[in-house]
Structure 1
């Protein structure tokens, strides 16, 4: 199967899993997942499956990336915070939908590798930083959208506080060894509305910086 066929199958799988937003599908067609998958797993870049990356982390399943991005409902003027850069794939997809993307990860090596890929792809509206994502990025708050790619037991208070009124956060919530739920949080004038979207499985959100 050639790359064109694989990409067609890739987009078909996204749609069959419920990713129907035209802008999200176009962004995921333009951002080549293969650019974010190294070594042995490069041949599986178009499979709808999570794959291992550096620092014991994973690149998320494309259909989950699509569904989370769709739930976030990013608008062209939005400033977005992503907690958990990982491979950089999710931030790259967001960068085609938003005005500005800030992405943070506790692993310095992941951030520097992602920055190299962003530069190679000419994605100039992403700022990648090594930071404790559980605290968000108070210097740049408030954000229109926040996406968390690691599971917390509850939506983290510091991140909720950094969400603009009318803003949306999508976060996996639950015990790290049990089934987690993907939650969409909308900040209102009077508080927060919570919508449960689907079961998911993510690595746990860890405080502090990594050793690498």
Structure 2
């Protein structure tokens, strides 16, 4: 999967590629889809949600420029797969999922697989996770119609946020938001994408 579907399409960060090789994606897909887990497209995980295609996971992870000392916020835990990919690349991952059954299932799988630097919360990602802010990077895996201001505020100066933005049932823009040391924010369009919509509700589940 990694060489043919990800590296061949331009992902060059060797740490990201190693993480993609190491994570057992079949543990995160929806029931009945394990045989297709390593194909390069999204798959349903229940509750109207999907696990993103591997290439997009790798692209978004590489755009974050993860470092071993980083604290990362993920909005939209879903299956927990993106958090698992980030886990060996950074110090801490805090991930929020608005659909509580998905949050609980993701927390269980992540715990079973030993990703002990990932904390899962059921709640509204629009508010971010202020108790653990600021974050070195933020990754959003569902599409709001605009960039939530709370997430920009919780991004550390020098930090990066990767987020799909746009209307439901249409192509969205994958954007890279960068906050300079002086607090200046820049917004760069990376690629057209299609994500489930980001919806808006928080209890700690792990």
TM-score by length of structure 1 reads: 0.92
Helix, strand or coil for the counterpart of 2:47?
helix
Q: Distance in 1 between matches of 2:27 and 2:47?
A: 18
1:12-27 matches, within 5 Å, as 12-27=4-19
Other-structure match for 1:109: 101
Cα deviation, residue 115, structure 1: 1.1
Moved over 4 A (4+): none
Q: 1:48 is matched with which residue? A: 40
- Point out the more displaced range, 120-129 or 184-193: 184-193
* Shift in Å, 1:108: 1.0
Alignment of 1:13-162 (within 5 A): 13-162=5-154
Q: Does 1:198 align with 2:191?
A: yes
Q: Identify unmatched segments of 5+ residues in structure 1.
A: 1-8
Q: Is 2:87–2:93's contact at 8 Å kept on the other side of the alignment?
A: yes
Superposition deviation, residue 10 in structure 1: 4.0
Number of matched pairs: 201
Which SS does the other structure have where 1:40 is aligned? coil
Instruction: Measure how far apart 1:73 and its partner are.
Output: 0.6
Structure with more helix by fraction: 1
Whole-angstrom CA distance in 2 between matches of 1:13 and 1:150? 22
Question: Aligned equivalents of 1:140 and 1:39: distance in 2?
Answer: 33
Structure 2 residue 174 is the aligned partner of structure 1 residue 182: yes
Contact 1:10–1:46 (CA under 8 A) maintained in structure 2: no
Shift of 1:62: 0.5
Q: CA deviation at 1:185?
A: 0.5
Q: Structure 1 residues 119 and 190 mapped into 2: Cα distance closer, same or farther (>3 Å)? A: closer
Q: CA contact under 8 A between 1:11 and 1:29: conserved in structure 2?
A: no
Q: Provide the C-alpha distance between the structure 2 equivalents of 1:129 and 1:53, rounded to a whole number of angstroms.
A: 18
Paired with 1:19 and 1:55, the residues of 2 have a C-alpha distance of 31
Could you say what the CA RMSD is over the residues aligned between the two structures, in angstroms? 1.1
Partner of 1:164: 156
CA distance in 2, matches of 1:185, 1:36: 28
